[in-house]
């Protein structure tokens, strides 16, 4: 399985971005798709995950209400819509695949290469 994240860029505070993650194939290792981010000097942080088959979603408290995870099963795509962005959202954003719902990086077996999001004040 390969994951390809895209959609990052430079945006002003209060703006929006939609990240995309292309999934090469669906297997049991992609039962759940997650988004994480890592800011400079910080640990990788869980944001949200979605069950590929049922579409159930789960969010970290830090982004609940501002970020929305979704998937297009027919096109093997996962998305992260980010609204009301803040400078502290600046980070490299990663999509990842897991066999089970999880919020820790060690549970995800496959990672995309990351896409940089920079939010200016």
Cα distances from 78 to residues 47, 72, 86, in angstroms, run 13, 6, 22
**pLDDT score of 29:** 87
Q: Report pLDDT for 80.
A: 98
- Burial zone of 40 (CB within 10 Å; 0-12 exposed, 13-18 middle, 19+ buried): exposed
Q: Which of the 8 DSSP states describes residue 51?
A: E
pLDDT confidence of residue 64: 96
- Assign 110 a pLDDT band (cuts: 50, 70, 90): very high
pLDDT of 36 above 90? yes
The pLDDT tens digits for 55-95 are 999 999 999 999 999 999 999 999 999 999 999 999 999 99
């Amino acid at each position: 399985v390969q994951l390809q994240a895209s959609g990052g860029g430079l945006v002003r505070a209060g703006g929006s971005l939609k990240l995309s993650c292309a999934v090469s194939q669906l297997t049991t290792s992609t039962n759940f798709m997650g988004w994480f981010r890592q800011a400079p000097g910080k640990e990788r942080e869980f944001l949200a995950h979605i069950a590929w088959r049922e579409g159930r979603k789960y969010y970290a408290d830090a982004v609940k209400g501002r970020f929305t995870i979704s998937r297009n099963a027919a096109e093997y795509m996962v998305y992260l819509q980010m609204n009301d962005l803040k400078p502290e959202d600046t980070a490299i954003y990663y999509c990842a695949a897991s066999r089970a719902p999880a919020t820790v990086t060690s549970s995800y077996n496959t990672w995309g290469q990351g896409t940089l999001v920079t939010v200016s004040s």
